Chains A and B, each alone.
Chain A
Amino acid sequence: MSLDTTQEPMLQVSGLHAYYGKSHVLHGVDMQIMPGEVIALLGRNGVGRSTTAKAIMGEVAPQGSIRFRGQEIAGLPNHKIARMGLGYVPESRDIFPTMTVRQNLMLGIKNMRKPGRWSIEQMLEMFPNLARRADNAAGVLSGGEKQMLTMCRTLMGDPELIIIDEPTEGLAPLIVTQVGEMIAEIARAGVSILLVEQKLSIALKIADRVYVMGHGEIVYSGTPAEFATRDDIRKEWLEV
C-alpha cells in the first residue's frame, strides 16, 4: 500500500510509560501509524507489546502522550477512546459466551442510529462459519471462530484504527491462515491496523512497517523488506 507520509499520523505515541503496580513495564515507547497503514508490533513474550496495546486503549494507566488524529487520548476512559474511532481486539478475545453470535455482533455497534461501514448481515456473508452458528451461543465456537467473531464484533463499531493483540495465539495452522486473510481483508477496506503478533510469517506478509520491542521500548522500526535483511535484530530481539 502506498502511503502519503505528508498526512498527519493517525496515531502518534510518544514517550509512553506504563506500570503494573511497582513494576515499570513500558520505558518510553515511541511509534506512529499513518492512515491506512498496517503496523506489526513484534517482540518476545513479556517485552510489553500487549501492555502497549492496553495503554493506548486506556486499559492500563498510561504516562506520556498518545495522540489519535491529533487529539490527546492518554488517560481517557476506554469507551471514549473507542468512540473516537479506535477498535481493540484483545488477546483474551472476551466474547460474551452466553449470548448468540448475532447478539455479540450487535453489541459491537456503538450507535444503532448511525450504522457504520459494516453490517451484521455483511459480516455473516463474509464468514460463513459464523453465519452457520449465528443463533448459537458464542461459547460453543472453536478458537478460530471466536477470534473471527471478536474481530467482526470490533469492526461493527466502524473503527478507523484497529488494534489486534495476538490473533493467532493457540490456533491451528489452517485457521491461522484464515485469520491472516481476514486481517488483510480489513486492511483492504482502508482500516489502519496495529497488529501485535509473534508469528513473523503472518506479520511480515500483511504489514507495511514493523516495530520490534525489547525491554519495554521500541528497538527497531523499518519496512518488512528492510527487516528481512536484519538478521542481527531478529537474533537479538526475536529468537528464543
Chain B
Amino acid sequence: METLVFALLNGVIYGLLLFMLSSGLTLIFSMMGVLNFAHASFYMLGAYLAFTIMEGTSFWIALFLAPVLVGLVGMVVERYGLRRVHAQGHVAELLFTFGLAYLIDEVVKIFWGRTAVNYRVPELLDFPLFTLYGAQYPAYRIFILFVAAFMLVALWYLLKKTRAGLIIQAALTHPHMVGSLGHNVPLIFMSVFGVGCALAGLAGVIGGNYFVTDPAMAVQMGPIVFVVVVVGGLGSLEGAFVAAMLIGLLQTSAISINASLADIFGFLGLGPHTEVGEITIASMAPMLPFLLLVLILMIRPRGLMGEREV
C-alpha cells in the first residue's frame, strides 16, 4: 500500500511534468505538421536560465522570468527561422529543428559548462511537507504538482473558453480560412510557438532542480516527450494528457517494483538464478515508454486520441 501511494503521487507529478512539455510540443506539431526536435532543448534552456537568474535574484523571479525568456527565444526562432524554412517543406523544417537542438546544446555547454550545475530546490520549499507510512514527502514535489496543475487549468481555459483560444484552435486546423476572416495567422503561429517553448521552459525551471540540470537533460527527456505525443495522438492535447499520465504512472510504478521476472513468470518455469529471471521490473522501467510506443504504433497508429496517422 505504501509503495502504491508513493508511486501514484510521484507518477502524477512526473506525468504532469511530461504533459507540460508535451502540450507545447503537440500544439507546435499541429501548427507545423512536423515534430519539433528542439523542443526538449527549450526545456533545458529553461532550467539553465532559472539557475542563472536564481543566482542573481531568487527562485520566484526565475520561475516567472525564465519561461518568458525561453518563450521570447522561441518566438524569435519561429519568426526568423522556421517561418522562412517552412516554405521549403517538412523535411527542411525537420532538419532545421534537428540543427537547432544541437545548436542550443552547444550554446548551453559554452555558457554553463559540460557538467551539471548546482541548481537546487529553493530553501523555502526544501522541507518535508508530510509524513506518510513513516516516510517524509518533500514539499517541492507538491509544489511541482500545483504549478503543473495550474498550468493545465490555465491552458485548458485559454484554449477552450476564450475567443483567442478558439481562434488558435481554428488556425491550427484551417489557417487559410482563419486568415480570410481577418485574423493574423502568422502572429498566432509565432505566439503558439512562443507559448509552447515557454511551457517547456517552465517545465525546465521546476524540473531542473527536481532532476539534474546538465547538458544531457534534453537528450534524456526528448525521446520520452516524443513518446507521449505519439502515444497520445499527434496534435491532440487531450491525448497528450492521457499519455503523459499513463507514462508517468507506468514508469514510476515500475521503478518501485522490486519483483524480478522470475517472480512473475516463475510458474512458466523461469528460474530465479537465470540471466532472464534475475532481471527486475525496476530495471526495465526506462524501456517501458518505448515499449508502449512500439505497441501503439502497431495497434493504433494514430495514437490514443489523435486524428492523423504518424
Could you tell me which A residues sit within 8 Å of B by CB distance?
Answer: 57-59, 77-79, 82-83, 87-88, 90, 94, 96, 98-99, 103, 106-108, 110, 112, 153-154, 157
Contact = CB atoms under 8 A, between A and B. Distances in A.
Contacts, number: 60
A77 B169 contact: no
Contacts of A96: 166, 169-170, 173-174, 177
Interface stretch (B180-188, B199-207, B239-247, B281-289): B180-188
A125 to B, nearest CB: 22
B90 interface: no
Interface of B: 163, 166-167, 169-170, 173-174, 176-186
Nearest to B188: A79
Given A79-B179, A107-B178, 10 more contacts: A82-B179, A90-B176, A90-B177, A90-B180, A94-B174, A94-B176, A94-B177, A96-B177, A99-B169, A106-B163
Contacts of A82: 179-182
B181 A103 contact: no
Nearest to A81: B180
A118 to B, nearest CB: 14
Given A59-B176, A77-B186, A78-B176, A110 B170 contact: no
A127 to B, nearest CB: 18
Nearest to A100: B166
Given A90-B177, A96-B174, A107-B178, A79 B163 contact: no
A117 B183 CA distance: 19
Nearest to A98: B169
Nearest to A59: B176
Given A78-B176, A96-B174, A110 B166 contact: no
Q: Is the interface of A mostly helix, strand, loop or mixed?
A: loop
Q: Is the interface of B mostly helix, strand, loop or mixed?
A: helix
Contact of A78 (B167, B173, B174, B180): B180
Nearest to A112: B163
The 6 A-B pairs of least Cβ separation, nearest first, read A82-B182, A110-B182, A94-B177, A78-B179, A88-B180, A79-B179
Contacts of B173: 96
B92 to A, nearest CB: 18
A90 B174 CA distance: 12
25 contacts: A59-B176, A77-B184, A78-B180, A79-B179, A79-B180, A79-B181, A79-B184, A79-B185, A82-B179, A82-B181, A94-B176, A96-B169, A96-B173, A103-B166, A106-B163, A107-B163, A107-B166, A107-B167, A107-B178, A107-B183, A108-B181, A110-B182, A112-B163, A153-B181, A154-B181
Give the most central of A83, A87, A94, A110: most B CB within 10 Å: A94
Contacts of A112: 163
A106 B166 contact: yes
Nearest to B183: A79
Given A59-B176, A94-B177, A112-B163, A83 B182 contact: yes
Contacts of B174: 94, 96
Contacts of B183: 79, 107, 110
Nearest to B307: A98
A216 to B, nearest CB: 22
A107 B179 contact: no
A175 B174 CA distance: 26
